[in-house]
Amino acid sequence: MAAASLSAISETTLHPPLTDSHGRVIHDLRVSITDRCNYKCVYCRTGEGGAQYPELEIEEYVSLIEIFVSLGITKVRLTGGEPLLRRGIVELVQELARMRTPAGQPLDLALTTNGHLLKSFASPLKSAGLQRATVSMDAVDAPAFERITRVPGSFSAVLAGIRAARDAGLNPLKINCVLLRGFNDDQIEGFARLAREENVVVRFIEFMPLEEGRLWSPEIVVTLKEIVERIGRSLPLVELPARDPSETARRYTFADGVGEIGIIAPVSQAFCGACSRVRLTSDGKIRTCLFSQVEHDLYGRLRTGETVAELRAYIVRTVQGKEARHHIGEPGFLKPSRSMVHIGG
């Protein structure tokens, strides 16, 4: 472990909220713990396997996350790549569950996974202190799902994972579905029914230009407005009030109050003004926006022996420079230097 002395954190004074230069308070950290993935979803990856970026030791993620927490991060989501491929994830969750915010509260701990290995991990992760999980699922029928993931047997594995997560008490359990026109948008109504029948929150996400290949176009995006209209034709929706101002999903229930769906619309209704996130990549770089053109090498500084105080100051400076917003769909838009799977979605 590099030179930063973790005991020094407890001696530091409470820091004012981590804030960027646009006045947004940053309290949400997404940490990728590997950029490897066992799926090759056609809209995400070109099909190349394996890691493109190095992984840190589990204790190194713990050290870096602890510094963010000392600065006001209250929510940590583990992601990837596929985080369940990462050896040591249960121990990492155990360590994170022990951490306390400066106000003495436990962290809000979450996981985003493709669910393929969740059947065997749900219970150990829950015992380790994980509270909730989000499972990605882009179709509700097996052949369509397996065409997307390019992995035979993936649909039944993920369904078993979802049920194991529910039985283990991971709550809320959310299912995220990225919709692409002419590709899986015929699944919208099936997902609405799944939300009601399986008692899970289904969230549709607009497709962003973050794929490895070149698939994105404005026309391929299925917008919030269209999703609401399509579901509403068979199952009228009622919008629910936002629970907190940085919530990314617009939430809806059905006319009879049974079930919930959410729509995350970063393209048609960008929510950058309420963004509360920063990301740490699997190789320890801070990204202040999914669409950042630059990364900030926090791990490099840990390795060269910077003190906790220096690392804290670096994080504060970096967060201050967070981009005002993304520029999807605008002339001159530049794709970010990494695709979603290598950033951590």
List Cβ<8 Å contacts ≥24 apart for 95-99.
95/58, 95/62, 96/62, 96/65, 96/129, 97/128, 97/129, 97/130, 98/129, 99/65, 99/66, 99/69
Decide if residue 227 touches ligand SAM (CB under 6 A): no
Count of beta carbons in the 10 Å neighbourhood of residue 61: 25
CB of 213 to ligand SAM, least distance (A): 10
- Residue 122 CB, shortest distance to ligand SAM, in Å, is 15
For the purposes of burial, counting CB atoms within 10 Å of the CB of 151, is it exposed (0-12), middle (13-18) or buried (19 or more)? middle
Residue nearest to ligand SAM according to CB distances in the complex = 345
C-beta of residue 272 within 8 angstroms of C-beta of residue 326: yes
Alpha-helical regions (H) of 73-141: 89-98, 118-128
# binding residues, ligand SAM (CB under 6 A) = 19
**Which of 63, 176, 281, 292 touches ligand SAM by CB under 6 A?**
176
Q: Which is nearer to ligand SAM, 114 or 223 (CB)?
A: 114
Distances (CA, A) of 222 to 28, 232, 238, 252: 27, 15, 20, 17
Task: Return the structure tokens found at 245.
Answer: 């101002």
Choices 18-26, 143-151, 208-216, 295-303; region in contact with ligand SAM by CB under 6 A:
208-216
- DSSP 3-state of 31: strand
Interface segment toward ligand SAM; rule CB under 6 A; list 50-58, 147-155, 204-212, 303-311:
204-212
Cis before residue 172, ω within 30 degrees of 0? yes
Q: Which of residues 245-274 bind ligand SAM (CB under 6 A)?
A: none
212 binding ligand SAM? (CB under 6 A): no
Region binding ligand SAM by CB under 6 A among candidate stretches 109-117, 189-197, 223-231, 321-329: 109-117
Phi, psi of 235 (to 5 degrees): -135, 95
Name which of 264 and 319 has its Cβ closer to ligand SAM.
Answer: 264
**82 is an interface residue for ligand SAM by CB under 6 A:** yes
Written as six digits, the tokens of 77 are: 């989501």
In the bound complex, what is the minimum distance in angstroms from residue 256's beta carbon to ligand SAM?
Answer: 28
Of the candidate spans 75-83, 94-102, 159-167, 245-253, the one that interacts with ligand SAM by CB under 6 A turns out to be 75-83
Q: Does 184 bind ligand SAM (CB under 6 A)?
A: no
Quick check: 323 binds ligand SAM (CB under 6 A)?
A: no
Bridge partners of 15?
none
Which lies closer to ligand SAM via its Cβ, residue 2 or residue 215? 215
Q: Shortest CA distance to 44 belongs to which of 98, 92, 114?
A: 114
Rule CB under 6 A: say whether 133 interacts with ligand SAM: no
User: Can residue 34 be called a binding residue for ligand SAM (CB under 6 A)?
Assistant: no
Instruction: State the DSSP code for 34.
Output: -
Question: Nearer Cβ to ligand SAM, position 30 or 126?
Answer: 30
> Judged by CB under 6 A, does residue 122 bind ligand SAM?
no
* Distance set, CA 265 to CA 13, 37, 94, 104, 210 (Å): 38, 25, 33, 34, 15
- Asked if residue 328 binds ligand SAM (CB under 6 A), the reply is no
The single residue listed with the structure tokens 């490099």 is: 300
288 lies in the binding site for ligand SAM (CB under 6 A): no
Give the interface with ligand SAM as residue ranges (CB under 6 A): 37, 44, 79-80, 82, 112-114, 136, 176, 178, 205, 207-208, 210-211, 340-341, 345
